[in-house]
Amino acid sequence: MELYYSFSALIVLASIFAYINYRFLKLPSTIGIMVIAIVVSIILVFFGENFLPKTFGHLNDLMNSIDFTEVLMGAMLNFLLFAGGIHININDLKEQFRPVLIFSTAGVIISTFIVGFGMFYLLPFVGLEIPFIYCLVFGALISPTDPVAVLSVLKQAKVSKSLETKIAGESLFNDGMAVVVFTVVLQLAVGKEVDLGVESIAVLLMKEAGGGLALGVALGWVTSRLMREIDDYIISVLVTLAVVMGGYLVARQLHVSGPLTMVAAGLFMGNFNVKFKMKSITQDYLIKFWELIDEILNAVLFLFIGFELLMIKDLNHYVIPGLLAIVVVLGARFASIWGPAKFMSFRRTFSPQTIKVLFWGGIRGGVSIALAMSIPKNEYSNAILSITYCVVVFSIIVQGLTIAKVANPNKIADEEKELESIALDENH
C-alpha cells in the first residue's frame, strides 16, 4: 500500500502542477511541471523546516520512500521507450541508419572521454578534485542523450522528419552503449577486476545491446502475429501492456538491455501492425492509449526530477563545478556530433544548421540522474550527483525551451538542397 500512496501523491502533485503551468506559465507541459517542482523544492529547502515543517517532512519521506533508479530504469523507462518506438516510422529510421548508429555508439564514447578528461583537468580550478576514473564515470552517465526528455521536447520543435529521426533514433538507441560503458568504468572505479580487452567488451556489448534488440524483435513479431488473429481494442491494449511488463522481466532474467528490448518491440509492433487490416477504432484506441501513458509518465518523471533537489545534500557547494560541467558537456556534445559528421562518408547530408540542431537537441534527463544515483555511496558520489543534476536541469530548461528557435526548418531545407546540388555538380 505504501507504493500506492506514494504514486497517488505524485499523480495528485503532477496534476496540480500541470494545471498551474497550463493556466499561468504556459511552458511545454513536462518542463513546466519540472520548473514548478524545482521552485517548490528550493522554497522548502530554504524555508521548509522553519515555516512548513510538516510539508517538508512529508515530501522528504515521499522522495526517500521511492528508489528513483529502480523506478525509472526498471519500470517507467520501459513504458516510455515502447511508446516512443511505436510512433517511429521504420522507413525513416532505415534512411538515417548510419548516422543514428554512429552517433549512438562512437558519439557516446567520444563524449565520455572528452568529458572525463575535461572535468579531471578543469575541476581543480574551482576547488574540487575528483579522481580521473570517477570523472570518466561522470562522462559515461552524462554522455547519452535521454530519450524521454528528447522525445518530449521534439514534440514542441517543428523540425524536418529526417532530422527528427536522427535525434530521436540516437536517443532511443544510445542506452545500450551507454550502459555498457558506464558499467565497465564504474566497476573499475569501485575496484572490481574488469577485462578491458576489445573482445570481452565487444561480447558484453553484443550480449547487452544485441540481445536486447533480438529479444525485442522476437516479442514484437510474436505479439503482432497474435494480434493479427483478433481485432479488439481492449485485447490489443492488454497485449501491448504484456509485451512491456513481461518483456522487461524476460530481459532481466536473460541479462540483456531492457530499454533496447522495449525500443525494438515498439518499433516492430508500430510498423508491422500497419501491414494487416486493423479496424480504425482499434488502431485509434491503441495509439491514444500509448500517447496517454506517455504523457502521464512523462509528467510524473519530470516531477520526480524537480523534487530530486530535496535529496541532494549541499547542492549549493557544487553550483560552480556544475556550471563548469555544463560548458564541458556542451563542448563534448559538439565534438561528438561535428567529428563523425565531418569525417564520415555521409557528411554531405549534414548542413551546418543540421549539426547545430543535433548539438543543441542532445538533451540530458532522468536517465543520467538515475545512473548517478546508482553509484555506491562514497566521498565522490554526492559531488557527481549534484553536478549531474545541474547539467540535467540546464539541459531540460534552457535547451528544451530554445530548441524550437534553434531549429529553423526552412533554413535546414535550403542548406540541404544546396549541398545536394553541389554533390550532383561534382558527380557530373
Instruction: Work out the angle at residue 372's Cα, subtended by the Cα atoms of residues 369 and 377, and round it to the nearest 5 degrees.
Output: 135
Residues of the chain with pLDDT > 90, as a percent, come to 43
A 10 A CB-CB count for 267 gives: 25
pLDDT at 202: 77
Gap between the Cα atoms of 68 and 332, Å rounded = 27
Give residue-wise pLDDT tens across range 104-113. Answer: 989 999 999 9
pLDDT at 98: 85
**Cα–Cα distances in angstroms (integers) from residue 117 to residues 188, 190, 282, 329, in the given order:** 16, 19, 52, 11
pLDDT at 279: 64
The sign of the dihedral angle between the CA atoms of 332, 335, 337, 339 is negative
pLDDT at 298: 92
The three cell numbers of residue 332 are 563534448
Gap between the Cα atoms of 73 and 374, Å rounded = 10
C-beta of residue 332 within 8 angstroms of C-beta of residue 394: no
Q: Label residue 206 left, alpha or beta by phi (over 0 means left) and psi (-120 to 50 means alpha).
A: alpha
Question: For the residues of 109-140, what is the DSSP string, one character each?
Answer: HHHHHHHHHHHHHHGGGGT----HHHHHHHHH
**Cα–Cα distances in angstroms (integers) from residue 243 to residues 206, 300, 352, 413, in the given order:** 22, 22, 40, 39
Q: What is the maximum span of the chain, computed from C-alpha positions, in angstroms? A: 76
Name the amino acid, one letter, at 292: L
A 10 A CB-CB count for 231 gives: 15
Instruction: Please report which residue ranges of 229-318 form alpha helices under DSSP H.
Output: 233-254, 258-272, 280-307
C-beta of residue 204 within 8 angstroms of C-beta of residue 181: no
Name the amino acid, one letter, at 199: E
Gap between the Cα atoms of 193 and 187, Å rounded = 7
Give residue-wise pLDDT tens across range 272-307. Answer: 765 555 666 777 888 899 989 999 999 999 999 999
| Half-sphere exposure in the Cβ direction for 190 (13 Å, CA) | 12
| Half-sphere exposure in the Cβ direction for 21 (13 Å, CA) | 20
Q: What is the pTM of this model?
A: 0.90
Residue-wise over 131-167: b if at least 16 C-beta within 10 A, else e?
eebbbbbbbbbbbbbbbbbbbbbbebbebbebbbbbb
pLDDT at 86: 86
Q: If residue 255 lies in a helix (H) or strand (E), which one and from where to where?
A: none
Q: Label residue 314 left, alpha or beta by phi (over 0 means left) and psi (-120 to 50 means alpha).
A: left
Positions in the chain short of pLDDT 70: 1, 156, 194, 196, 273-280, 344-349, 409, 413, 415-417, 419-428
Question: For the residues of 344-357, what is the DSSP string, one character each?
Answer: STTGGG--HHHHHH
C-beta of residue 143 within 8 angstroms of C-beta of residue 108: yes
pLDDT at 172: 87
Gap between the Cα atoms of 84 and 169, Å rounded = 10
**Rg (alpha carbons) of the chain, rounded to whole number:** 22
Kindly give the interhelix angle for 352-360 and 161-189, rounded to the nearest 10 degrees. 50
Which single residue is written with the C-alpha cell 525509472? 72
* CA-closest candidate to residue 90, choices 269, 259, 214, 219: 269
pLDDT at 24: 95
Give residue-wise pLDDT tens across range 48-94. Answer: 777 778 888 888 888 888 888 888 888 898 999 999 888 888 888 88
Gap between the Cα atoms of 356 and 26, Å rounded = 26
Contacts of 198 (CB under 8 A, 6+ apart): none
Gap between the Cα atoms of 364 and 349, Å rounded = 25
